[in-house]
Amino acid sequence: MISANAALDRLKTGNGRYIRNESQARVSDLNRSALTTGQTPFAIILGCSDSRVPAELVFDQGLGDLFVIRVAGNIVAPSQVGSVEFAAEKLGSRLVVVMGHTNCGAVSATLDAVLSGNAADSRNIRSIIDRMRCSVEIARESAPADDREALMRHASRANIRIACNQLRHGSDIIERLIDQEGLMVVGAEYSIETGAVEFFDGV
């Protein structure tokens, strides 16, 4: 298995190809047959469920390359932590990327809920918003209250940083792998406007 830094370089290189419209990843019968007995993904991506942010395409990777966990708002809840633990401990992946994105609907919904004081009708949606609420509160300390674009930008970054810290410090397994086996947890933001991924936390 490749190191965290080598995995990060591979993601950056793949994203560069994606931005230039030079994607190389292909799916073939050979790819599928080689993966029937197991998988060794070189990176774990915890990303948003947004249909505009498919990690394999964004990083120009193929079958078996990435262990992808997607949830609205790229939040960290027990099932996401368990999924990261599994991929890091059992599959040997040494890089975890928490990837948010610009114009995130979950961030926008959380911002609306915090600013209006109104709760979502669905308790399930509320559970997502409640996990993201702190990021909006942090954004309100950094951006003018009447500048929604700035609030969105700051909240998105804060949400990614919070998720990274939850993974780094919310699991004995992940903490051990960070301390002893070179696991790295980094935060990144995908720009829907440009296609570029900026790594900004933990790198």
Q: What band does 35 get if pLDDT is binned at 50, 70 and 90?
A: confident
Q: What band does 53 get if pLDDT is binned at 50, 70 and 90?
A: very high
- 187 vs 143, more confident: 187
* 8 A C-beta contact, residue 178 and residue 85: no
Which CATH number applies to 4-201: 3.90.1300.10, 3.40.1050.10, 3.40.190.10, 3.30.70.3270?
Answer: 3.40.1050.10
| C-alpha R_g of the chain | 17
Place of tokens 């610009």: 102
Q: What is the dihedral of CA 173, 166, 157, 198, to 10 degrees?
A: 0
User: Does residue 29 surpass a pLDDT of 80?
Assistant: no
User: Does residue 28 surpass a pLDDT of 70?
Assistant: no
Give the pairing type, strands 43-47 and 197-201: unpaired
